[in-house]
Chains A and B, each alone.
Chain A
């Protein structure tokens, strides 16, 4: 079943892509030779179990689900589907490990385990990168250059904190919370695992982690890293399964801390799941980031930043710069440059080293993107998509740009989580701030200008947890990440990320 963009949202015919000498909607006039990364470094098992108490075990009822390659729609492996009984088993294993093993270790010793994990991730980086691209659809150049190295460095960063917690919280003693229930999304499967597990373990907690049901494989491969590192059994438990299993985990009475990354809609359910209890909660939810370009911005740099902001990881990024706010005086020039740049974006095989935009993670996500893009057309925005051949099979979507977008349009309000950019314009800085903050979300924002004082003013006025000035979509383990408003609360990364996993006692 070939899934392609709907005919009704085919490329528009206005505008020009001048600097390449191309008529609008034309493909780039040269060919790249295929440069596929070999898949044979990954040894897929036919069947993966749950990882509980240091061992791979089948689910209690023996049921499995299939993880597929979204770029081919072919099955990759059968994965055990955790049941309520398995959640219970995993939480008990984590509790035991916290009391008897991991929680008893000195910080210095915990640190050494985390350094080991980081090293093993570096050693097996190729394997992880290829598997991540196979299971999630993201381009290999991103999994290779972003996801895996950042995951390794996240463990590295928090390893060093494990024996220095006293310095992070002056006047207080930081105690572990206990068992952390962690639920992660499918857009950065291994990296989100690292963001969750590294600070939790550094602070002395043990974890039960539920990976997303479409991308369980890198988490299950990570269980092998835990075994190689000789991590005490039960310190990390991984239980793939559907959303209901996530709720079972959140509401399990043996859990002390809940950390969730995903949509605001599910975030609300999880919030309700911990209501009335003493469980600590951090939420990293959706976004609808404004990326603001002033007329004095370095335009070519800005174009690269805009493209990276919205087409990185197929736009399946909670902090994606999905609303471009351009100062009116340069809108035409900038949009022309953007369309031009879009025509050079290569969409296709995630394992090809030249691919810029890979496969959408799942059929349902592709349908959601398609539906929202259709709503943009229906509500009167002007659609532009470059002409590019999409593979016959797999879940692909053309990089999409909407102009003539009103703030009331769904494509300007709702998180699309796809390669779809909505362009709006503004005249004054006040109007830019007004429009940027006109959303219930507040995860990230971007500002492009050569004027330093204006950067600092915009930074202070934008209600967002991360502001990229003259750059976009940069991540680092030392840099706290998280949202304002309905984008959630709590920070991941940096010293602030530790706070989510400790209880502070008087010295």
Chain B
């Protein structure tokens, strides 16, 4: 009961910080107050929006401590389900033409554009930003999709090669997606940081299981609603909210996860997670220990728009064939 009491406090939150609470602000005396329809924040697995199979949730509060919503507290089983969905989806996604993948991801930007206000309010509440700063982060997240989407049909030309071997063979190298990628999203930058880490593995044809910011998960859940309606096939992106300490080790130890983005792994967990990843030789995309995640400037395009981040989730395949035999 304590929780529901706290939740009701949300309606008294300042309108500018409440994602969907604006209509519930003190109503004019003339008209009766309309009761807000609240959103249920769910997981996103295999293109569907289930609750955690565990039936658990946790209270998410705004940066100023105002309770915002109950988010699903995903379980180990949810992680496994998400990995299975990703595995089922990855071949189809990788087999799409590069241009098609680019168009699908561009469409994510299109749909986010239409929900800028909602994202801005959620980011403002989650990160404690002023409206203008939140709006800037949302706009940049949208633009980042556009930037990465454009790489879909170009990255192979930048990273591939034909190789002049010293014998009569035709020899070329092409990049292929690694497969199922686990992404541990940044803790601080709830939307822009997340998009900056999610788009690179997606654009080349990987499927992703993403663990959101633990303390600021709500913008990610709204993003999953955008993904569900933007032609991204179900299972290509799976989004889980919950406790990183509980979920990340399961993801890192799962043998059907081929690569792991540890950008949002808390420093205290880093060693253990990398030890788990060693068991099946996972590819790691690691945040340098010298970079403080909370201080990373995701607004800096030069820092966060990097083809290297796409390359981190690619395998190079080299093919030989004799000439003239």
Contacts and interface: CB of A to CB of B under 8 A. Distances in A.
Interface of A: 153, 170, 172, 264, 267-268, 271-272, 275-278, 283, 285, 301, 440, 455, 459-460, 464-471, 474, 476, 478-482, 484-489, 491, 494-496, 504, 506
B34 interface: no
A477 B290 CA distance: 35
A489 B277 CA distance: 13
A485 B173 contact: no
A455 B322 CA distance: 12
Contacts of A460: 176
Contact of A485 (B281, B289, B303): B281
Nearest to A301: B325
Interface size class of B (residues with CB under 8 A): 35 or more
Nearest to B165: A476
B282 to A, nearest CB: 9
Nearest to A469: B321
A467 B317 CA distance: 7
B135 interface: no
Contacts of A486: 280-281
Given A479-B163, A491-B316, A271 B281 contact: yes
A482 B176 CA distance: 13
Given A469-B319, A469-B321, A470-B322, A494 B161 contact: yes
Contacts of A278: 286, 288-290
Contacts of B322: 470-471
Interface stretch (B58-66, B115-123, B141-149, B267-275): B267-275
13 contacts: A268-B281, A278-B288, A278-B290, A440-B280, A465-B315, A470-B322, A478-B164, A478-B166, A479-B171, A480-B173, A486-B280, A489-B283, A494-B163
B39 interface: no
A361 B96 CA distance: 47
A440 B280 CA distance: 9
B214 interface: no
Contacts of A467: 317-320
Nearest to A507: B302
Contacts of A485: 258, 281
B48 interface: no
Contacts of B136: none
A455 B320 CA distance: 11
Contact of A459 (B286, B290, B315, B317): B317
A275 B281 contact: no
Which of B165, B279, B321 has most chain A Cβ within 10 Å?
B321
B318 A479 contact: yes
Contacts of B280: 440, 486
B321 A471 contact: yes
Contacts of B163: 476, 478-480, 494
Contacts of A301: 325
Contact of B165 (A283, A478, A489): A478
Given A268-B278, A479-B320, 13 more contacts: A283-B281, A285-B281, A459-B317, A465-B317, A471-B169, A471-B322, A479-B165, A479-B171, A480-B318, A485-B281, A489-B315, A491-B316, A494-B163
B220 to A, nearest CB: 27
Nearest to B308: A504
A474 B320 contact: yes
A494 B163 CA distance: 7
Contact of A506 (B164, B167, B279, B302): B302
Contacts of A495: 161
Contacts of A484: 315, 317
B309 to A, nearest CB: 11
Contacts of B161: 480, 494-496
B320 A275 contact: no
Interface string B151-171: 000000010010111110101
B165 A480 contact: no
A272 B161 CA distance: 32
Contact of A468 (B158, B290, B320): B320
Contacts of B169: 471, 474, 476
B182 to A, nearest CB: 15
Contact of A466 (B158, B270, B320): B320
A496 B288 CA distance: 22
B254 to A, nearest CB: 14
A491 B159 CA distance: 12
Nearest to B271: A276
A481 B319 CA distance: 10
Given A471-B321, A478-B165, A485-B258, A272 B278 contact: yes
Contact of A268 (B176, B279, B290, B321): B279
Nearest to A466: B318
Nearest to B290: A278
A95 to B, nearest CB: 19
B289 A277 contact: yes
Interface in B246-295: 258, 270-271, 274-275, 277-281, 283, 286, 288-290
Given A278-B289, A496-B161, A496-B173, A470 B321 contact: yes
Nearest to A462: B317
B307 to A, nearest CB: 8
Contacts of A506: 302-303
B159 to A, nearest CB: 8
Contacts of B278: 268, 271-272, 275
A479 B319 CA distance: 9
Contacts of B288: 278
Contacts of B258: 485
B320 A469 contact: yes
A142 to B, nearest CB: 16
A451 to B, nearest CB: 12
B262 to A, nearest CB: 11
A476 B163 CA distance: 9
A9 B169 CA distance: 39
A60 B320 CA distance: 47
Contacts of A476: 163, 165-167, 169, 171
A495 B171 CA distance: 13
Contacts of A481: 318
B325 A470 contact: yes
Nearest to A440: B280
B274 to A, nearest CB: 4
Contacts of B279: 268
A267 B169 CA distance: 32
Which of B158, B166, B318 has most chain A Cβ within 10 Å?
B318
A278 B271 CA distance: 11
A339 B83 CA distance: 45
Given A470-B325, A479-B171, A465 B316 contact: yes
A504 B277 CA distance: 24
A478 B165 CA distance: 6
Contacts of A272: 274-275, 278
- 9 closest A-B pairs by beta carbon, nearest first, are A276-B271, A275-B274, A271-B278, A476-B165, A478-B163, A469-B321, A486-B281, A272-B278, A479-B163
Contacts of B277: 271, 275
